[in-house]
Chains A and B, each alone.
Chain A
Amino acid sequence: MNFRHDLIIVGAGLAGLRAAVECADEDVGVVSKVLPTRSHSGAAQGGITASIGNEEEDRWEWHMFDTVKGSDYLADQDAVEVMVRDAPRAVYELEHMGVPFNRTRDGKIAQRTFGGHTRDYGEKPVKRACYAADRTGRVVLDTLYDQCLRRGVKFYPEHYVLSLVFEDGRCGGVVSFDLSSGELDLLEAKAVLLATGGCGKIYETTSNGYASTGDGLDLAYQSCIPLEDMEFVQFHPTGLYPLGILVSEAARGEGGVLVNGLGERFMERYAPTVKDLAPRDIISRAILTEIKEGRGVDGKDFVHLDLTRLGEAKITERLWEITSFARIYLGIDPVHTPIPVLPTCHYIMGGIPTDMDGRVLIDEKGMAAKGLYAAGECACVSVHGANRLGCNSLLDVLVFGRRSGIAIKEEISKSEHQALSSEPLRLAKQKIAGLLAHEGSEKIDGIRRSMRSLMMEYCSIFRNENGLKKGLEEIGSLKERYNDINLQDKGRSFNYELMEAIELEHQLSICEAILLSALHRKESRGAHIREDYPERDDRQYLKHTLIFRNQKPEIRYKPVKITRFQPEERIY
């Protein structure tokens, strides 16, 4: 079938829904591979940062400094400034839409401390994160979905986008696969916004949901659009051991501390000023160092997150979800027993390069693609640089989701639908038929498990040239094996095997982009730690990586925008 809208948004997480709300007066269609409110934004726990100063003095300049320093000076400072200055408005707007924020004694939005957020340019932690217990992402997702319903936004739930359609160099829609019927649809639009989230599922240990397979990243990459800063993959320090489920930084923001096997508060050694509220890259590295040097708990590969000093009332009021995770999955009660944690793959700082209004940039000079936008985790503005601070991701999706929406409204008011050829639809049909008909000898699961384990081994927190090269070789052979996969499910309706096969193709491609980008950055910065190049090298690498797919992947670079804060040594 053919459907036509002015705007197609791919992804129904927070970035997509915020843009949808902005464009709700236009004819907008939201396509998502999952049902409404199932998107992974819902798993965000801790909060949204804004210098509204409800609990103590705060300023956007401090927020900007923290974000830039947190990024290890790789973030583009003009974009960071736009984001943090817009933060108070973004939070009040959510409150007006009905988000059930926790409250201070005088009825204002409550705020708490979070990793890397400080007052007076690093003096001490500041309460900057606006929160709804430890379910902030979920309630914001619910609220924005509700706002979309109110405004009559059209949803295409359980539709999986197979390709972006370009006509004369302009993006004019997508081909999507209806999971329930197995039909292919051509969705025509004057503009397309990619808001497809991250790709954490390429790693064995991750806080990400099964749907986080990097589809949008690879759809762009396959369409001759480069990917920016893909080597920067964030490992959140506190994943519930051994599953990797997120245990929010809010636990430490509320006063929880990390403790090693000797009972020491080891973060005092790594970050003497802010201790357990250091940024994520620093804490994850510290935890792994403690474990490597034999100070894990009981000699094992985890440390303890101790909340026992918080008291039951505070834990129940503000950390209900993570407490329930510990009870359900480990059978322990965090009120009385420390939680075992290990770093878990959480977020990709890199992504589809965009300007501050979501326009996708197709080269290092900043040329914009026509009709194509990206926002949220799949995009790289870049406001997170080499390491994102906690609670800045919800802020990113809200600010840049909205800004994309505004820019798109402007564009679609001035443009017409183009006549699209039926070729992309035919190619997609051919691809599906080919996958279903191929009689190979490989199973998806085996390839996927190998991929996840090699990414953990060679490309997680610590990296080196030999490992990255091995990783690339192995990805190469997994790609070969992928060409011989065999699908047993030949059904039309809810054929998840077919969808996972397509996801796996995207995942392998993204792995290669990450490994190659990491191999070429011969320095250590933020979340990218090279054992063979342990220092940050501003002289050579204070620049963004761009990887182009081409016939053979090619790496280029573009400069970082530095406005207010010159790079300094990063000490907390």
Chain B
Amino acid sequence: MILKFKIFRFDPVKDEKPYYQNFEIEAGASDRLLDCLNRIRWEQDPTLAFRMSCGHGICGSDGMRINGKSALACQKLVKDFKEDEEILIEPLQVFRVVRDLVVDMDPFFEKYNSIKPYLITKAHAPERERLQSVEEHRKYEDAIRCILCACCTASCPVNQEIEAFIGPAALVRAFRYLFDSRDEGNQERIALLDHEDGAWGCKTKWRCTRVCPKEIPVTKEIFEIKKCILESKKSKK
């Protein structure tokens, strides 16, 4: 079938302002949108810039806005679109556009880094593994599916307004370590999250949960972080 695309273009070096460009390509029903974008780039316009790597939703490179909704281009199939439909492709919101669909991810990784995204332990490690029950593992199991694609952060209405908000992706990683029974860095991490641009910045709009390509219950996990902060304050009193 013939698929129509309308793609956001902007090269700050030569373009005064962004514009949209239309492309049409012949595509098979089981092709991924990423395949279509690649073919546009390889066969029609090699100047079209976007990131991609694994092509099956593991590396997290090809987050973009597809018909207004953040998603991975490698997870969307041609058959889910109509032939006469114009598919709108735009860069992720929130981040500065560097070229076409490529955005500046530095602030994303800086915020990620700010929550101490690593296991903090005080006691000396045992000779073999630390024990963790199946139930304890289950508590944070959903969160480890995160691939840092930034679809959640880009879709967050708070992030869209407030640059300083840490954003759902960093919070999911914070959740992953807060609720890991092996972690002993609870207090220092809570201190980093307990402010209006930390966990409290979340206004429970559920947009992150809806777009997450790995089906992580992001909003619920942020809610659990808030509960954890309150409980830790209560226990201190």
Seen from chain A, the residues whose Cβ lies within 8 Å of a Cβ on chain B are 34-40, 42-43, 52, 91-92, 95-98, 100-109, 132-133, 135, 138-139, 142-143, 146-147, 149-150, 180, 209-211, 242-243, 245, 320-321, 324-325, 328-330, 443-445, 487-489, 491-497
Assuming A138-B147, A150-B118, A491-B99, is B137 touching A100 (CB within 8 A)?
Answer: yes
Assuming A103-B134, A149-B118, is B41 touching A496 (CB within 8 A)?
Answer: yes
B77 at the interface (CB under 8 A from A): yes
Can you give 22 A-B contacts (C-beta < 8 A)? A34-B53, A35-B51, A35-B109, A38-B61, A43-B59, A92-B129, A98-B119, A100-B140, A100-B141, A100-B144, A103-B137, A135-B144, A209-B55, A210-B54, A245-B55, A329-B32, A330-B30, A443-B42, A488-B45, A493-B49, A494-B49, A496-B46
Most chain A CB within 10 A, of B12, B54, B116, is at: B54
Interface of B, secondary structure class, is: loop
Chain A positions within 8 Å of B129 at CB level = 91-92, 95-96, 101, 108-109
Give the docked Cα–Cα distance between A34 and B109 (Å).
14
Q: Is the Cβ of B133 less than 8 Å from the Cβ of A211?
A: no
Give, as a whole number of angstroms, the nearest-CB distance from A493 to chain B: 5
Give, as a whole number of angstroms, the nearest-CB distance from A208 to chain B: 8
**Count of A-B contacts judged by CB separation below 8 Å:** 160
Q: Is the Cβ of A209 less than 8 Å from the Cβ of B54?
A: yes
Q: Contact partner of B131 among A42, A108, A330, CB < 8 A? A: A108
Chain B positions within 8 Å of A98 at CB level = 118-119, 177, 180, 182-183
Seen from chain B, the residues whose Cβ lies within 8 Å of a Cβ on chain A are 11-14, 30, 32, 41-43, 45-47, 49, 51-61, 75, 77, 98-100, 102, 105, 109, 113, 116-119, 121, 125, 127-134, 136-137, 140-141, 144-148, 176-177, 180, 182-183, 215
Assuming A445-B42, A488-B46, A496-B41, is B102 touching A210 (CB within 8 A)?
Answer: no
**10 other A-B residue contacts (CB within 8 Å) besides A98-B182, A100-B140:** A36-B109, A38-B54, A42-B54, A96-B121, A103-B137, A104-B134, A108-B128, A133-B141, A325-B56, A497-B47
Most chain A CB within 10 A, of B46, B51, B141, B176, is at: B46
Give, as a whole number of angstroms, the nearest-CB distance from A143 to chain B: 8
Q: Is the Cβ of A329 less than 8 Å from the Cβ of B137?
A: no
Q: Is the Cβ of B117 less than 8 Å from the Cβ of A149?
A: yes
Q: Is the Cβ of B118 less than 8 Å from the Cβ of A37?
A: no
Q: Is the Cβ of A38 less than 8 Å from the Cβ of B53?
A: yes
Give the docked Cα–Cα distance between A261 and B61 (Å).
37
Q: Is the Cβ of B54 less than 8 Å from the Cβ of A493?
A: no
Closest-by-CB residue of B relative to A93 is B125
Give the docked Cα–Cα distance between A443 and B39 (Å).
13
Q: Contact partner of A40 among B30, B54, B140, CB < 8 A? A: B54
Chain A positions within 8 Å of B121 at CB level = 96
Assuming A38-B60, A487-B46, is B137 touching A102 (CB within 8 A)?
Answer: yes
Give the docked Cα–Cα distance between A96 and B49 (Å).
40
Assuming A92-B129, A107-B131, A108-B131, is B99 touching A494 (CB within 8 A)?
Answer: yes
Give, as a whole number of angstroms, the nearest-CB distance from B221 to chain A: 15
Give the docked Cα–Cα distance between A321 and B47 (Å).
33
Closest-by-CB residue of B relative to A109 is B129
Q: Is the Cβ of B118 less than 8 Å from the Cβ of A42?
A: no
Give the docked Cα–Cα distance between A455 and B109 (Å).
39
Assuming A37-B148, A493-B11, is B59 touching A107 (CB within 8 A)?
Answer: no
Assuming A37-B60, A97-B119, A489-B47, is B144 touching A132 (CB within 8 A)?
Answer: yes
Q: Is the Cβ of A37 less than 8 Å from the Cβ of B137?
A: no
Q: Is the Cβ of A34 less than 8 Å from the Cβ of B61?
A: yes
Chain B positions within 8 Å of A138 at CB level = 58, 147
Give, as a whole number of angstroms, the nearest-CB distance from B45 to chain A: 8
Q: Is the Cβ of B11 less than 8 Å from the Cβ of A328?
A: no
Chain B positions within 8 Å of A493 at CB level = 11-13, 49, 98-99
Q: Is the Cβ of B13 less than 8 Å from the Cβ of A491?
A: yes
Q: Is the Cβ of B144 less than 8 Å from the Cβ of A42?
A: no
Chain A positions within 8 Å of B147 at CB level = 37, 42, 138
Give the docked Cα–Cα distance between A242 and B52 (Å).
20
Assuming A40-B54, A325-B56, is B61 touching A445 (CB within 8 A)?
Answer: no
* Top 9 closest pairs, chain A to chain B, by CB: A98-B119, A107-B131, A445-B42, A209-B54, A497-B46, A146-B118, A494-B49, A96-B125, A95-B129
Q: Is the Cβ of A445 less than 8 Å from the Cβ of B118?
A: no
Q: Is the Cβ of A445 less than 8 Å from the Cβ of B43?
A: yes
Chain B positions within 8 Å of A42 at CB level = 54, 58-59, 147
Closest-by-CB residue of B relative to A45 is B58
Give the docked Cα–Cα distance between A381 and B137 (Å).
36
Assuming A38-B53, A42-B58, A138-B58, is B42 touching A444 (CB within 8 A)?
Answer: yes
Chain B positions within 8 Å of A497 at CB level = 41, 46-47
Give the docked Cα–Cα distance between A245 and B7 (Å).
27
Give the docked Cα–Cα distance between A38 and B75 (Å).
16
Q: Is the Cβ of B13 less than 8 Å from the Cβ of A95?
A: no
Chain A positions within 8 Å of B118 at CB level = 97-98, 143, 146-147, 149-150
Chain B positions within 8 Å of A330 at CB level = 30
Chain A positions within 8 Å of B56 at CB level = 43, 243, 245, 325, 329
Chain B positions within 8 Å of A103 at CB level = 132-134, 136-137
Closest-by-CB residue of A relative to B100 is A494
Assuming A107-B133, A135-B144, is B41 touching A328 (CB within 8 A)?
Answer: no
Chain A positions within 8 Å of B128 at CB level = 52, 92, 108
Give the docked Cα–Cα distance between A42 and B141 (Å).
17
Closest-by-CB residue of B relative to A158 is B51
Chain A positions within 8 Å of B130 at CB level = 95-96
Q: Is the Cβ of A35 less than 8 Å from the Cβ of B105?
A: yes
Give, as a whole number of angstroms, the nearest-CB distance from B48 to chain A: 9
Q: Is the Cβ of A135 less than 8 Å from the Cβ of B145?
A: yes
Most chain B CB within 10 A, of A132, A210, A445, is at: A210
Chain A positions within 8 Å of B100 at CB level = 494
Give, as a whole number of angstroms, the nearest-CB distance from B81 to chain A: 15
Most chain B CB within 10 A, of A38, A135, A138, is at: A38
Chain A positions within 8 Å of B102 at CB level = 494
Q: Is the Cβ of B58 less than 8 Å from the Cβ of A321?
A: yes
Chain A positions within 8 Å of B14 at CB level = 491
Give, as a whole number of angstroms, the nearest-CB distance from A117 to chain B: 20
Closest-by-CB residue of B relative to A91 is B129
